[in-house]
Structure 1
Amino acid sequence: MPTLNPTQGPAAGGNSVVITGTNFTGATSVKFGTKSATFTVNSATQITATAPSGNGVVGVTVTTPGGTTSPVNYFYVPQPIKTSLSNTSGPLAGATTTISGANLSTATSVTFGAVGSATPTVVSDTTLNVTAPTSGTAQTVPVTVTTGGGSTNGLFFSYEAAPTTTSITPGTGPETGGTASTIVGTGLSNTTSVTYGAASAAFVVNSDTQLIAYAPPGTGTVTVNVTTPGGTDSTQTFVYAPPPG
């Protein structure tokens, strides 16, 4: 019985399949199921065929003046579909994201634009986990998933530089909290959290270079941490002034 390499391909067809067997000289047809394929007889033991489009599992046969081979199974893999990324942004060093979709079980690579590709972990036919490769610059890139059924894109991942802060005004306030401080810096537009020490603070982002944070209750001198998908800046401090008495 002949063998195929590869044994699977995209439903759209068009990929080369090498058929190995015997007595192929003078072959008159190669069929994938009921569909005829274009082919080249390389030798008496090898044929290269171009798979037509198809679905599911089909039998591949070779016909010569001496007869027709027994069918060998060939698997058509459906086109992958991806619908979402759990993390659509992350630091320049990359981040792990979960890709949800369909027909993902044969995924072999995920490409992040010109940054590079990564090998995903296949969780199921609908879920992949992948870590974005490191980018040298802040940029938004298309995400392409490649499987045995082809490639698909349409989603994007944004690499973000770590935020920086240059000042906090005022830098002191009562232990009861509530002080509204202006924090100035860069890369602040996608801020996800501000903490005074370990305590979370309410905040409002005014622009990429400014946000207003509201000090929670506290004591002593604490570090003000500003976190974005690009990382965390912990440059500024806030001093809680004790009450008189």
Structure 2
Amino acid sequence: MLLTPSDGSTGGGDTVTVTGTDLGGATSVYFGPDEAAITGNTATSVTVVSPAGSGVVPVVVATAGGPSAPQPLFYIPPPVVIGVSPSSGPLTGGGTLVITGRHLLTATAVSIGGSSVTPTVVSDTTLQVTALAQAAGVAAVAVTTRGGVADDVFFTYVAPPSVTGFAPITGLTTGGTTVAITGTDLLTTTGVTFGGVPAAFGVISDTQVAAITPPHALGAVAVAVAVTTTGGSDTAPATYLYL
């Protein structure tokens, strides 16, 4: 005999077809100690709805001629999703998201904000998917496996930042000046540069970031101030002047 599929959810409810010979007039099908509901029967097949269960159980078909040889069915626990990294990204999508959890080996689909994408199964605890383009906001991440669905984590689509200004506009070449940078969509800031040189920074709010200027070579020079977030990058309309 052959079971199709040979695995199913611990919650039951899966359609399982048993194929073989002399199966006509099947009177019952058992999954371990539990009887399954027969929904179809021919001389070469029996279709049933699996009962709830766990582990590996023998499937036996009973007919007037006697019971069949048992065939194993593997019950798959429902998936558990712990996190998604990174947890935010640009509206254009395209980045690789790593989903971690348990019982992910039989994953067949992942949806992000309702849009489906085919996952790459790395292991029973890790999946990789490519983020899809979506509007700004929080999107639920749902993972579908042979054991069920998990939708306990979220991915945030972040609009690109806009840097509108900063103060003060000048400072010493030794660095160490605290500069307040203002704009919009700055909450997920991952980097600030002065003339391409990374600066220490702290996120105050979605509209303000505080940065400490890095040192610069001696001499008066104007440099660009740029902010990078998980949604993209933007450069201030004015330049910072090292004195």
TM-score w.r.t. the length of structure 1 is: 0.89
Contact 1:168 1:236 in 2 (8 A): no
Aligned counterpart, 2:60 = 61
Please list every run of 5 or more consecutive structure 1 residues that lacks an aligned counterpart in the other structure.
Answer: none
Deviation at 1:84, TM superposition (A): 2.0
What are the Cα deviations for residues 167-219 of structure 1, in whole angstroms up to 9, with x where unaligned?
23333332222333332221012212211133222334333222232221124
CA distance in 2, matches of 1:204, 1:88: 19
Q: CA deviation at 1:236?
A: 4.1
- Cα distance in 1 for residues equivalent to 2:159 and 2:242: 34
Contact conserved, 1:206 with 1:212, CA < 8 A, in 2?
yes
User: What is the 5 A alignment of 1:1-245?
Assistant: 2-94=1-93, 95-114=95-114, 116-135=115-134, 137-219=135-217, 220-236=221-237, 238-242=239-243
CA deviation after TM superposition for structure 1 residue 134, in Å:
1.5
Contact 2:58/2:73 (8 A) holds in 1: yes
Task: For 2:242 and 2:138, locate their aligned partners in 1 and report how far apart those are by CA, in whole Å.
Answer: 43
Q: C-alpha displacement at 1:49, in angstroms?
A: 0.3
| Offset at residue 28 of structure 1 (A) | 0.4
Task: Note the C-alpha offset of 1:105.
Answer: 1.3
Look up the equivalent residue of 1:199 and give its one-letter code.
V
Q: CA RMSD in A?
A: 1.9
Q: Distance in 2 between matches of 1:118 and 1:218?
A: 47
Deviation at 1:237, TM superposition (A): 5.1
Mapped to 2, the partners of 1:169 and 1:176 lie a distance apart of 17
Question: 1:27 aligns to what SS in structure 2?
Answer: coil
Local SS of the residue matching 1:202: strand
- Partner amino acid, structure 1, of 2:235: S
Structure 2 segments unaligned to the other structure (5+ residues): none
* Counterpart code for 2:230: P
- 1:86-105 Cα offsets, whole Å, 9 max, x none, are 32111112232222221111
Shift of 1:129: 2.1
Contact 1:98 1:130 in 2 (8 A): yes
Q: Find the aligned partners of 2:237 and 2:98 in 1 and give their Cα distance.
A: 33
State the shift of 1:235 in Å.
4.2
SS at match of 1:143: strand
Tell me the distance in 2 between the aligned counterparts of 1:209 and 1:41. 63
AA at the equivalent of 1:63: A
Q: 1:113 to 1:241 in 2, by over 3 A?
A: closer
Q: Deviations over 1:111-137 (max 9, x none)?
A: 1122x12222222212222222221x1
SS at match of 1:192: strand
**Shift of residue 163 of structure 1?**
0.6
Structure 1: 4+ residue segments shifted above 6 A:
none
- Distance in 2 (alpha carbons) for counterparts of 1:227 and 1:124: 32
C-alpha offsets along residues 63-86 of structure 1, whole Å, 9 cap, x if unaligned? 111111111221111111122223
Letter paired with 2:178: A
Structure 2 distance, partners of 1:120, 1:236, is: 41
